[in-house]
Amino acid sequence: MTSAPLAARLTHVAGPLFFPVTAYGPDGALDLDAYRAHVGRGVAAGAAAVFACCGTGEFHALTPEEFGACVAAAVEETAGRVPVVAGVGYGTALAVQYARIAEEAGADGLLAMPPYLVVADQEGLLRHYTALAGATSLETIVYQRDNAVFTPETVVELARVDGIAGLKDGYGDLELMQRVLSAVRAEAPDRDFLYFNGLPTAELTGLAYRGIGVTLYSSAVFCFVPEIALAFHRALTTGDDTTVNRLLDGFYRPLVELRGKGRGYAVSLVKAGVRLGGLDVGEVRPPLSEPQPAHIKELAEIIERGRAVLRSEDGGEDGSEDGGEDASEDGSDAPDEGPDSAPDGAGTGAGTGTPGGAA
């Protein structure tokens, strides 16, 4: 943990927000060495923050002990260079328990995922997140998606709660988000409230969110091709729409279309991408399943096309950083990557209310 407030450290960032996968060994147990290597590579490549054990990190599949070990490993590996935010969730009592584990492990903040299963009204949601924010000294980012979608009035109340630093939107209703920003700006002008684009493969909607003033976003792509994620972030931040559109056309749109071919691909396809880059982080845990071998081959081809876009942008030089190995090296044939993916509730699109955002 660092002394600087989380909100201040995330207000202006120079790189993408990194949501690492959780590494498992051949026996399915945590592989903390591989996890530390994954986190370390991401920080060295230019991540602005590490969001540990969130959707992409399979929070749902971790025991409390494993969760604490992963958060502690991320804190140790980052060594204060960037903030570490830990995912928490389930009902209020369990969310508080996970929050306290994260605080003890040294995290800088929390990403509060929707309550488990139930569909609560606005008053109940406000009570849940207020209780969570008050349970630790950590700043909390509330994740809007699925069964936790807020009215502008509720977000105003959340913004007024000490300890709640921002809202991550995984719902995708831009009109609603514009009304939320306007309401908080008008009703709570003294609060420095942060907003994040948390849709799956958020880069695809980056231009739209930038248009309403939301510039922070989660990047699952950064897990497996950081050089592409960094190039896109630079272009989006500087208003280089030509490069943004070239990467959207040559890499991100094909990637999203591939993601739509299987349930749970918002997580399992990312993990396959990390393995393609040369780091064995294991397979996903049930109830998720591995991508089809043909889809892993397609992923390798999409990655190479994305790198080709970068080479054309910089005059033919490959600007690869960590993870810059040939994407086909470790899995383009992928004969043993696993069966068809099983349903996990993850959807395929970035449309209004579509479930499936992993990060």
Active-site residue identified among 35, 168, 171, 265? 168
Residues 6+ apart with CB under 8 A from 83: 2, 6, 9, 10, 49, 50, 108, 109
Beta bridge partner(s), residue 52:
86
Closest among 78, 109, 112 to 95, alpha carbons compared: 112
Dihedral pair phi/psi, residue 300, rounded to 5°? -60, -40
Active-site residue identified among 143, 171, 217, 252? 143
* Cα distance between residue 65 and residue 18, in whole Å: 22
* Cα distance between residue 270 and residue 141, in whole Å: 23
Q: Any catalytic annotation for residue 261? A: no
**262 touches 47 (CB < 8 A):** no
Q: Any catalytic annotation for residue 168? A: yes
Please tell me the total number of residues recorded for the chain in this structure: 359
Residues tagged active-site: 143, 168
